[in-house]
Chains A and B, each alone.
Chain A
Amino acid sequence: MIPRPFGSEQVPAFEESPSDALVVRHLYVHLPFCAHRCGYCDFVTVVGRRGQHAAYVDALLAEFELERGLLAPELETVFLGGGTPTFTEPRELERLLAVLPDAAEVTVEANPETVTSALAALLRRHGVSRVSLGAQTFRPELLGVLDRVAGPDDVRRSFYHLRDAGFDNISLDLIYGIPGQRPSDLAADIEEALALRPEHLSCYELEAKPGTRFTHAHGEELRRQAEALEGYFESVVERLVAAGYRWYETANFCRAALADADGRDLRSRHNLAYWRGRDYLGLGIGAVSTIGGERWRTTPRLGPYLAALREDRLPPRELEPLPESVQREERVMLGLRLDEPLPVATVAGALDEKALARLERLGLAQLVPLGPQHARGALTLTPRGRLLGDAVTADLLA
């Protein structure tokens, strides 16, 4: 059972979203290149092809030019994800960063083996304010299972390179549930991560996604492990909360404002935008944009993407209309991942009242008052409800 304190102690006041929803304040840029493909990965990645980094950045910049009209003059967040953004030829990465607009939060994802002091300085120079470092695990044998190149020392070295360059907002990614990982391995991983005192931690259970090499090799083992793995998530949450981290999203933790010297809100602002249902523009292959009730996904294929943008045409996209009802459904689905309560009025009609009453009785969901302007209050999940978030959400949706 999860101790009561975290969550309740920290239920923050609901933050109103900006009213002009059609002006996009969040930009995602996909940099697909990797040194190699990790077995468990199902992201859109491109291995090697150093010769194409320049062409790809050209295309990104062309796409940016075509789409910049959608963006607000002042962006809140920019996020460079991958692939391995820091594997991109430094010259090209620099060219891209120089053109991309500045924002209150600019995050770049990095793999430990790619982070040198030069790279850290480059990022810093171009206004990157936050780095998300893919540590995954500190056990060498488990890094092997994941096909990761970096060793435990690379993780620590890269972390200090970033600190030395002046980064005061660093996130570490950890993966648990790796085949062969014992509870003691996980506990040690968390202690190693905490020792670095990162501002932010993302902890993911390893998913055996269909079609990956990894699932082929380890799927059966993961299924056998499934029941034991349930407890891993709980222990991660317990340990991080005890260490002063705020469990602000299902898989994300940040050092609590109280625990930060400057009292900062260290949540990922970019990802918060997704979870709050804000619009965002995505650039690059396989990138997804959601704007004004429409979602589209750019082709994941490098060739057609480059070809279109060479001619200043928009690349092929797959379009998905999002009717109001679907938007509300997503709002519930995403909003309930957060520790901040979801105002019921914003998702009216999407909730099954009977299920809600049942989940309240079972101690999985609760309604909290929001103040006089929100008559119906707000919905939040209890810690246990959050561990069971998918099932609870499926129940809650009308």
Chain B
Amino acid sequence: MDLGRIRNFSIIAHIDHGKSTLADRILELTKTVSGREMRAQVLDTMELERERGITIKAQAVRVNWKDNELNLIDTPGHVDFTYEVSRSLQACEGAVLVVDAAQGVEAQTVANAYLAIENNLEIVPVVNKIDLPQADPDGAAAELAELVGGKQEDVLRISAKTGEGVAEVLDAIVERIHSPSGEPAAASRALVFDSSYDQYRGVVAFVRMVDGAFAAGEPLQAMAQGTRFEAEEVGFFSPTMKAAETLGAGEVGYVITGLKDVSRLRVGDTLTTEANRASEPLPGYKDVKPMVFAGLFPTDSDDYPDLRDALERLKLNDAALFYEPETSQALGFGFRCGFLGLLHMEIVRERLEREFDLDLLVTAPNVAYRVLERNGEWLEVHNPAEMPRELDAVEEPYVRASIIVPKDYVGPVMELNNDRRGRFDHMEYLSPERVLLAYELPLAEIVLDYYDQLKSRTRGYASFDYDVAGFREGALARVDILIGDEPVDALSMIVHRDAAYARGKALVERLRKEIPRQYFDVAVQAAIGSRVIARETVKAKRKDVLAKCYGGDISRKRKLLEKQKAGKRRMKQVGAVEVPQEAFLAVLNLNDGKK
């Protein structure tokens, strides 16, 4: 295909602003799928995506419009997946930015628009859902033009639902977005912007050919990782897999690698041919740094190998997922997992539970910390239990948060942000009614229940987005929980000094209620270093025996005893103290707080 007739683009939008519906209409209008095949939201293949109304993984579909080859590259909709979004955007020359005519610009619209601009993409602004009775296309168009720095008359007005204006969107893609600028004759280079795993065919890489071409059967190499393999098949999606003889410069398609080891091909890497190796990889490959960490433990310890396999499988499609084995005295064997953000964590958990049928305990999440040790070295800590007790300084990640709310809710949001150690940056009126608040917040303050709080204080009207701004020093303390003088690794937490007392006290009180009484008094304490900040006592029991036991009572009594015995077997030993798993679950389980 002539490079001049190729257009590679993405659709970016805030959740529920109509990205998937627009994609469906494009497939219909270009006759890529027949009406009969048409399934709502064809591109969102995964069950989970359907339910949550979000798209996790990018895919690319080729459509033809007026003799042009258009490659629609789908992107995840949430900022947690910034890295994936930017990989996908790197495969494009333009982006269709969709805004709901009734909702206007939202926090994610802003974040996505900035990402597209950073990637030098041509933006085609579109106001969607103009058919809705409450639509305000003029208002939304004004906000959108303001955001992308364009003219209001350049903003297209459509209804993806009815199909109105969709043809004009396709025309605009051809007219406004420039064609790819690769070198068909140069040494071949392709960007891996996504991958997936097929149990029969191995790793399937989604690539954007930049220079040169790949042919089926050609030996290839991943430049960053050095992995070598043969391209068993190349082709494109339209919308199902269609094999082709070659993938040429500027095109988007797939390469079946036959690789069975999921870790050997990473998103962001550059593929080249063995025969004509490129000297330089394409820019952009980086190891993404997870910022939010939590322990994942199988509820049934027998499931540990299954959890390990499942994480390995997920990691293939999710370059950002990090995990390493973790052993907790309280919870047994599991993994400490790193996530880009809260939504990412939630999605991974749900996929593990649904697709792999695992029953999981997820500990309360914490962020990554940078610690300056006494020996002058910086250490990154992902688990409060690993935080050195002796240190010179601790840094925690901060985020730049954008919160868009109707103006009446500015007060409650500011109050919330102050409580969460937020630093006010600025405020903008997007329209007379809607305000954008920009804050810097410690990531640790938003990983627990910030979003729920924000929603409840704004009656659900707030939209919220953030990106990581970097590490800042904080007055942080490691709080240890001791049961009968034994520190419990899984319960250590890192909290701001001002909150340490309240958090320690709350946890200790909760534990006191959860730990059954023992043969002796058990102290439950929260401590910073050697200083105890909260203490409760589980009083020793004085009596535990059934009074009556005669000839007719023996069987009943024995069964009660067996039950008591079975209960004891499920206990975890913390020093001399027996603590039921449930006690840990009650204070640790993230799921608990939500249900």
Q: Let me know if A387 is at the binding interface, CB within 8 A.
A: yes
Partner pick for B549 among A334, A388, A395, CB 8 A cutoff = A334
Q: Let me know if A393 is at the binding interface, CB within 8 A.
A: yes
A329: which B residues are within 8 A, CB to CB? 558, 561
Stretch at the interface among A147-155, A158-166, A286-294, A309-317: A286-294
Partner pick for A387 among B520, B545, B552, B564, CB 8 A cutoff = B545
How many angstroms between the C-alpha atoms of A67 and B551 in the bound complex?
Answer: 18
Interface pair B545/A390, CB less than 8 Å apart: yes
Shortest C-beta distance, A105 to chain B (Å), equals 15
B520: which A residues are within 8 A, CB to CB? 362
Q: Let me know if A391 is at the binding interface, CB within 8 A.
A: yes
How many angstroms between the C-alpha atoms of A251 and B554 in the bound complex?
Answer: 15
> Who on chain A is nearest to B563 by CB?
A394
Interface pair A290/B519, CB less than 8 Å apart: no
0 or 1 for each of A357-398: is its CB under 8 Å from B? (1 = yes): 010001010000000000000000000001111111111010
Q: Let me know if B499 is at the binding interface, CB within 8 A.
A: no
Interface pair B546/A288, CB less than 8 Å apart: no
Given contacts A326-B558, A329-B558, contact A391 B544 (CB under 8 A): yes
0 or 1 for each of A178-210: is its CB under 8 Å from B? (1 = yes): 000000000000000000000000011101000
Interface pair A388/B558, CB less than 8 Å apart: no
Stretch at the interface among A116-124, A229-237, A238-246, A258-266: A229-237
Q: Let me know if B543 is at the binding interface, CB within 8 A.
A: yes
0 or 1 for each of B455-470: is its CB under 8 Å from A? (1 = yes): 0000000000000000
Interface pair A391/B564, CB less than 8 Å apart: yes
Partner pick for B544 among A203, A297, A389, CB 8 A cutoff = A389
B550: which A residues are within 8 A, CB to CB? 271, 274
Interface pair A207/B542, CB less than 8 Å apart: no
Given contacts A329-B558, A362-B519, contact A288 B548 (CB under 8 A): no
Shortest C-beta distance, A1 to chain B (Å), equals 10
> Who on chain B is nearest to A289 by CB?
B551
A28, A326, A388, A395: residue with the most chain B Cβ atoms closer than 10 Å: A388
Partner pick for A287 among B519, B544, B552, B568, CB 8 A cutoff = B552
B545, B547, B549, B576: residue with the most chain A Cβ atoms closer than 10 Å: B545
Q: Let me know if A253 is at the binding interface, CB within 8 A.
A: no
Interface pair A290/B546, CB less than 8 Å apart: no
Q: Let me know if A280 is at the binding interface, CB within 8 A.
A: yes
A320: which B residues are within 8 A, CB to CB? 555
Shortest C-beta distance, B261 to chain A (Å), equals 44
0 or 1 for each of A213-233: is its CB under 8 Å from B? (1 = yes): 000000000000000011101
Shortest C-beta distance, A69 to chain B (Å), equals 20
Interface pair B547/A234, CB less than 8 Å apart: no
A230: which B residues are within 8 A, CB to CB? 541-543
Count CB-based A-B contacts (< 8 Å): 95
Interface pair A388/B545, CB less than 8 Å apart: yes
How many angstroms between the C-alpha atoms of A386 and B546 in the bound complex?
Answer: 11
How many angstroms between the C-alpha atoms of A389 and B564 in the bound complex?
Answer: 12
B541, B546, B547, B564: residue with the most chain A Cβ atoms closer than 10 Å: B547
Interface pair A288/B568, CB less than 8 Å apart: no
Q: Let me know if B565 is at the binding interface, CB within 8 A.
A: yes
Interface pair A28/B551, CB less than 8 Å apart: yes
How many angstroms between the C-alpha atoms of A34 and B207 in the bound complex?
Answer: 88
Shortest C-beta distance, B468 to chain A (Å), equals 50
A234: which B residues are within 8 A, CB to CB? 542-543
Chain A's interface size range is 35 or more
Given contacts A393-B561, A394-B561, A397-B561, contact A388 B554 (CB under 8 A): no
B565: which A residues are within 8 A, CB to CB? 394, 397
Shortest C-beta distance, B516 to chain A (Å), equals 10
Interface pair B558/A288, CB less than 8 Å apart: no
Interface of B is mostly: loop
Number of chain B residues whose Cβ lies closer than 8 Å to a Cβ of chain A: 24
Interface pair A233/B543, CB less than 8 Å apart: yes
How many angstroms between the C-alpha atoms of A333 and B550 in the bound complex?
Answer: 12
How many angstroms between the C-alpha atoms of A326 and B557 in the bound complex?
Answer: 12
B545: which A residues are within 8 A, CB to CB? 233, 250, 337, 386-391
Shortest C-beta distance, B252 to chain A (Å), equals 65
Which residues B175-198 have CB closer than 8 A to chain A? none
How many angstroms between the C-alpha atoms of A229 and B542 in the bound complex?
Answer: 9
Q: Let me know if A156 is at the binding interface, CB within 8 A.
A: no
Given contacts A207-B547, A334-B549, A364-B519, contact A390 B542 (CB under 8 A): no
A388, A392, A394: residue with the most chain B Cβ atoms closer than 10 Å: A394
Which residues A56-85 have CB closer than 8 A to chain B? none
How many angstroms between the C-alpha atoms of A330 and B543 in the bound complex?
Answer: 21
How many angstroms between the C-alpha atoms of A203 and B546 in the bound complex?
Answer: 11
How many angstroms between the C-alpha atoms of A234 and B545 in the bound complex?
Answer: 12
Interface pair B547/A274, CB less than 8 Å apart: no
Q: Let me know if A282 is at the binding interface, CB within 8 A.
A: yes
A330: which B residues are within 8 A, CB to CB? 554, 558
Partner pick for B541 among A290, A295, A326, A391, CB 8 A cutoff = A391
How many angstroms between the C-alpha atoms of A363 and B447 in the bound complex?
Answer: 47
Shortest C-beta distance, A292 to chain B (Å), equals 15
B555: which A residues are within 8 A, CB to CB? 288, 295, 320
Shortest C-beta distance, B552 to chain A (Å), equals 4
Interface pair B561/A387, CB less than 8 Å apart: no
> Who on chain B is nearest to A286 by CB?
B552
Interface pair B558/A231, CB less than 8 Å apart: no
Interface pair B564/A390, CB less than 8 Å apart: yes
0 or 1 for each of A316-355: is its CB under 8 Å from B? (1 = yes): 0000100000100110011001000000000000000000
A388: which B residues are within 8 A, CB to CB? 519, 541-545
B519: which A residues are within 8 A, CB to CB? 362, 364, 388, 391
B557: which A residues are within 8 A, CB to CB? 333
**Apart from the given pairs A329-B561, A389-B545, A391-B564, 14 other A-B contacts in the complex at a CB distance below 8 Å:** A204-B547, A234-B543, A250-B545, A271-B550, A288-B555, A295-B555, A297-B552, A326-B558, A337-B549, A362-B520, A390-B544, A390-B545, A390-B546, A391-B519
| 10 interchain residue pairs of minimum CB distance | A389-B545, A230-B542, A204-B547, A394-B564, A230-B543, A391-B544, A288-B552, A251-B547, A394-B565, A205-B547
Enumerate 10 A-B pairs (CB-CB under 8 Å) in ascending A order: A204-B547, A230-B543, A274-B550, A295-B554, A333-B557, A337-B549, A387-B545, A388-B542, A391-B544, A397-B561
